């Protein structure tokens, strides 16, 4: 690894521009943000969004691809950086893993990336739980007229713990508060995390925290964090967490690792602040959005981009042969099936059958008026006929290029062709077109996403969802974008519908308000905001050796 000061020099930072946290990580102060008055250079690099086909249990290597692309761009002589979300401790110790790449295309120091950035997440927890404590205190003292049935704010912890999903607080008498049912979410699901990711500076952070709505009075008036006099202390707890972490890839490429909002009930993208700091200093900035293109990528366009003012110059859709085989519906939906000898057998017809998923995602991204490149994350078990089937499907869907890469095994050297294809795509003219406008009604926005993005024929609203949306609209929140909370395992609402389902009715079962983050999240199906541990968690593989070094983390 390079000293982080050497990494920072690539982006024009000097020693005094950083807050060092050891030799290999630094916080970047907000002084590095562009002048909000517009003075100074307006030049910026190209902004590249990496997304993927619908996720499968085996994983598609989206983070590997994003990191590899940034290193590949450096290999062909461009000054590139990558910006990614922070790892969440719960998934790192549970089922999913840390999301810091793999092979020789990963974030370094890897262990610190996976478990050592906890101070940021602890700050989010603390701010979130302070607000929860203020709510319960106000209920007990009757200092705020809030209808307890409308309270949606929950406590958070960065751990997979199904036992905390639903709890009862206030047991033991009046001195311990009001008896009521509530629960915990994982820290990444907190609106505070979404707020942190979308704030442009400290003043914007304070404003967004103040706007958080925790419930309503009986007359429909929103009760905000400002009402409870919480945002000042919350902002104080977050004043260091809002500064991006500067780290590096396995080849020394600058990597900003910052904020980690969920990709379903939140926007699933890294921070606006990191983008604004990095983009004027790089020729290319590569970012990654959570889950498939129907989730994080769509939310970048409709939620993050209006805040940052940054529209991607190109979109990369990552696909694998085995993922498209899986989307054919011919293989069991268990993890073992994805690494079995059966799925590794040459079968281009299975790739062709599942390529409808790739086709839908490429066409969806093209709807936004941005050039699209398909990146095939190549595995040693892929057959030439299968790779040819992916190339054919990507080209037919309208991708400018379909390029294989081997960044997992070969790092930036294995992503040179992808880097060149992305550079060519960024040179193409583009004209951004959102799928809906802010002034449209919330129901119209949901209908646009369901029909134009997910392939539904119509939308069916439960009465509770209609009442919630009507309440939000009446309270003045009808112009907010929609953040769809649905399964990430299908383009539709149903995780069992593989490929590119169409013609179905999209069910909306509820809606919740994230006024501080600036969106309404609409629930289509059962969304779990507190994961549980699997039958054998990754934590069971982790230990310390005789020298105190971690083993089993990756």
Other Cβ atoms within 10 Å of 413 Cβ, number = 15
Other Cβ atoms within 10 Å of 223 Cβ, number = 22
Question: Which is nearest to 367 in space by CA: 436, 459, 423?
Answer: 436
The set of residues, in sequence order, having a beta carbon less than 8 Å from that of 180 and lying 6+ positions away, is 139, 148, 151, 168, 169, 170
Q: Is 144 exposed, middle or buried (0-12, 13-18, 19+ CB in 10 A)?
A: middle
Q: How confident is residue 90, by pLDDT bands cut at 50, 70 and 90?
A: confident
Q: How confident is residue 527, by pLDDT bands cut at 50, 70 and 90?
A: confident
Enclosing H/E stretch for 402: strand 401-405
Report the percentage of the chain scoring pLDDT > 70.
97
The set of residues, in sequence order, having a beta carbon less than 8 Å from that of 9 and lying 6+ positions away, is none
Per-residue pLDDT tens digits for 259-291 = 999 888 899 999 999 999 999 999 999 999 999
The answer to whether the CB of 422 falls within 8 A of the CB of 73 is yes
Q: How confident is residue 33, by pLDDT bands cut at 50, 70 and 90?
A: very high
Q: How confident is residue 342, by pLDDT bands cut at 50, 70 and 90?
A: confident
The answer to whether the CB of 402 falls within 8 A of the CB of 391 is yes
**What pLDDT does 39 receive?**
63
Q: What is the DSSP string of 299-310?
A: HIIIIIHHHH--
pLDDT at 338 over 90: no
Q: How confident is residue 43, by pLDDT bands cut at 50, 70 and 90?
A: confident
Q: How confident is residue 86, by pLDDT bands cut at 50, 70 and 90?
A: very high
Span 135-145, average pLDDT: 93
Average of per-residue pLDDT values in the chain? 94
C-alpha 447: how far from chain center: 23
pLDDT at 116 over 80: no
pLDDT at 248 over 80: yes
**What pLDDT does 465 receive?**
95
Span 87-94, average pLDDT: 88
Whole-angstrom distance, CA of residue 103 vs CA of residue 91: 19
Per-residue pLDDT tens digits for 369-411 = 999 999 999 999 999 999 999 999 999 999 999 999 999 999 9
Span 136-141, average pLDDT: 94
The set of residues, in sequence order, having a beta carbon less than 8 Å from that of 208 and lying 6+ positions away, is 195, 198, 199, 516, 517, 518
CATH code linked to domain 442-523:
3.10.410.10
Buried b (16+ CB within 10 A) or exposed e, 4-13: bbebbebbeb
The answer to whether the CB of 360 falls within 8 A of the CB of 371 is no
Higher-confidence position of 310 and 36: 310
Question: Which is nearest to 402 in space by CA: 413, 414, 388?
Answer: 388
**What pLDDT does 331 receive?**
82
Q: Note the pTM of the prediction, 2 decimals.
A: 0.95
Q: How confident is residue 10, by pLDDT bands cut at 50, 70 and 90?
A: very high
**What pLDDT does 254 receive?**
98
Span 64-79, average pLDDT: 98
Other Cβ atoms within 10 Å of 304 Cβ, number = 24
The answer to whether the CB of 173 falls within 8 A of the CB of 139 is no
**What pLDDT does 203 receive?**
97
pLDDT at 488 over 60: yes
Whole-angstrom distance, CA of residue 264 vs CA of residue 421: 30
pLDDT at 343 over 90: no
**What pLDDT does 97 receive?**
67
**What pLDDT does 35 receive?**
84
Q: How confident is residue 38, by pLDDT bands cut at 50, 70 and 90?
A: low
Omega before residue 109 within 30° of 0, cis = yes
Whole-angstrom distance, CA of residue 369 vs CA of residue 348: 31
Cα angle 193-274-58, degrees, rounded to a multiple of 5: 65
**Phi and psi based region of residue 298 (left: phi greater than 0; alpha: psi -120 to 50; beta: remaining):** alpha
> Would you list the domain boundaries of the chain?
46-115+241-426, 119-229, 442-523
**What pLDDT does 117 receive?**
87
Superfamily for 119-229?
Domain 2, N(10)-formyltetrahydrofolate synthetase (3.30.1510.10)
Q: Specify the fold of 46-115+241-426.
A: Rossmann fold (3.40.50)
Whole-angstrom distance, CA of residue 363 vs CA of residue 367: 6
Per-residue pLDDT tens digits for 451-478 = 999 999 999 999 999 999 999 999 999 9
pLDDT at 302 over 80: yes
Per-residue pLDDT tens digits for 417-426 = 999 999 999 9
Higher-confidence position of 345 and 70: 70
The answer to whether the CB of 299 falls within 8 A of the CB of 445 is no
Q: How confident is residue 552, by pLDDT bands cut at 50, 70 and 90?
A: confident
**What pLDDT does 40 receive?**
58
Residue 316: helix, strand or coil by DSSP? strand
């Amino acid at each position: 690894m390079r000293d982080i000061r050497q990494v920072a020099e690539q982006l024009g930072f000097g020693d005094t521009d950083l807050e060092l946290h050891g030799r290999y990580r630094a916080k970047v102060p907000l002084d590095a943000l562009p002048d909000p008055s517009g003075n100074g250079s307006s030049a910026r690099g190209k902004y590249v969004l990496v997304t993927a086909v619908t996720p499968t249990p085996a994983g598609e290597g989206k983070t590997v691809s994003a990191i590899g692309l940034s290193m590949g761009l450096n290999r062909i002589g461009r000054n590139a950086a990558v910006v990614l979300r922070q790892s969440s401790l719960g998934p790192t110790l549970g089922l999913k893993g840390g999301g810091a790449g793999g092979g020789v295309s990963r974030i370094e120091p890897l262990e610190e990336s996976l478990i050592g950035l906890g101070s940021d997440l602890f700050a989010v927890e603390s701010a979130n739980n302070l607000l929860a404590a203020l709510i319960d205190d106000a209920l007990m003292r009757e200092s705020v007229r809030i209808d307890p049935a409308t309270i949606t704010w929950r406590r958070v912890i960065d751990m997979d713990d199904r036992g905390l999903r639903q709890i009862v607080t206030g047991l033991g008498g009046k001195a311990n508060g009001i008896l009521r049912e509530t629960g915990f979410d994982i820290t990444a699901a907190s609106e505070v995390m979404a707020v942190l990711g979308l704030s442009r500076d400290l003043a914007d952070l304070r404003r967004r925290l103040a706007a958080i709505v925790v419930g309503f009075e009986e007359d429909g008036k929103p009760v905000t964090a400002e009402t409870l006099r919480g945002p000042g202390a919350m902002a104080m707890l977050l004043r260091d967490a809002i500064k991006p972490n500067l780290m590096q890839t396995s080849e020394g490429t600058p990597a900003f690792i910052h904020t980690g909002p969920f990709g379903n009930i939140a926007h699933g993208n890294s921070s606006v602040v990191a983008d604004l700091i990095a983009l004027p200093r790089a020729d290319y900035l590569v970012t990654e959005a959570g889950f498939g293109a129907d989730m994080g990528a769509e939310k970048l366009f409709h939620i993050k981009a209006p805040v940052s003012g940054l529209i991607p110059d190109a979109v990369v859709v990552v696909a694998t042969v085995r993922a498209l085989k899986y989307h054919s519906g011919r293989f069991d939906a268990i993890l073992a099936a994805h690494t079995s000898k059966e799925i590794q057998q040459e079968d281009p017809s299975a790739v062709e059958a599942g390529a409808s998923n790739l086709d839908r995602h490429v066409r969806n991204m093209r709807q936004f008026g941005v050039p699209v490149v398909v990146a095939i994350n190549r595995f040693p078990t892929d057959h030439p006929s299968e790779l040819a089937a992916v190339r054919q499907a990507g080209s037919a869907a309208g991708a400018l290029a379909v390029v294989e890469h081997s960044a997992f095994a070969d790092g930036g050297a294995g992503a040179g062709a992808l880097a060149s294809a992305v550079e060519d795509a960024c040179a193409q003219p583009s004209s951004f077109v959102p799928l809906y406008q802010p002034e449209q009604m919330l129901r119209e926005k949901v209908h646009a996403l369901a029909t134009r993005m997910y392939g539904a024929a119509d939308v069916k609203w439960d009465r509770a969802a209609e009442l919630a949306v009507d309440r939000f609209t009446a309270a003045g929140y009808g112009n907010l974008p929609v953040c769809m909370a649905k399964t990430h395992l299908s383009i539709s609402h149903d995780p069992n519908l593989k490929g590119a389902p169409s013609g179905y009715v999209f069910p909306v079962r509820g809606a919740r308000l994230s006024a501080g983050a600036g969106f309404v999240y609409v629930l289509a199906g059962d969304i779990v905001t507190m994961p549980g541990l699997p039958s054998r968690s990754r934590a069971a593989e982790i230990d310390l050796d005789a020298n105190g070094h971690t083993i089993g983390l990756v």
